[in-house]
């Protein structure tokens, strides 16, 4: 009986762990951001980038916090709307970096990368 309980417990832990890891594909998120940055640096018009074309959505932000691409905050200042998020995203580098911050009681993870013109492109969960 103890062995059966152990096997059931182990199976439950593995199932939860596999669901957690399967539901977040950090490699795909960073690849999307890298592709957007490459497009911008290659001359793509930012107006052509659609935030919802990516899962999860992607965004492009000016260094002052103005959102150029975002599903609901386009044209608004992230620095004013969500200062903790803005401050975390300012850690972006030209190589790309994962940043972690708390927003509305939840821990968030965002891959953020700077373009040559210091725009910040990101996506996360």
Least confidently predicted of 13-27, 67-81, 96-110: 13-27
Residues 44-83 have pLDDT tens digits of 999 999 999 999 999 999 999 999 999 999 999 999 999 9
Q: What percent of the chain has pLDDT over 70?
A: 82
| Residue 64 lies inside a defined structural domain of this protein | yes
| Residue 73 lies inside a defined structural domain of this protein | yes
- SS3 of the chain: helix, strand, coil, percent, to 5: 45, 25, 30
Number of structural domains (the chain) is 1
Name residues whose C-beta falls within 8 Å of residue 62's C-beta, 6 or more positions apart in sequence: 68, 119, 120
| Residue 74 lies inside a defined structural domain of this protein | yes
Beta strands in 2-105, from DSSP E residues, in sequence order: 58-61, 67-69, 97-103
CATH code at position 53 = 3.30.450.20
pTM over 0.75: yes
| Residue 89 lies inside a defined structural domain of this protein | yes
Q: What tokens appear for 23 in the block?
A: 């539901």
| Residue 5 lies inside a defined structural domain of this protein | no
């Amino acid at each position: 009986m103890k062995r059966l309980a152990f096997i059931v417990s182990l199976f439950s832990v593995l199932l939860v762990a596999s669901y957690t890891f399967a539901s977040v594909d950090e490699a795909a998120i960073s690849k999307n951001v890298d592709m957007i940055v490459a497009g911008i640096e290659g001359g793509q018009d930012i107006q052509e980038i659609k935030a919802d074309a990516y899962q999860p959505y992607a965004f492009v932000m000016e260094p002052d916090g103005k959102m150029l691409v975002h599903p609901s905050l386009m044209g608004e200042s992230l620095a004013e709307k969500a200062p903790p998020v803005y401050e975390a995203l300012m850690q972006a580098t030209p190589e790309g970096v994962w940043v972690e911050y708390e927003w509305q009681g939840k821990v968030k993870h965002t891959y953020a990368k700077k373009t040559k013109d210091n725009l910040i492109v990101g996506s996360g969960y």
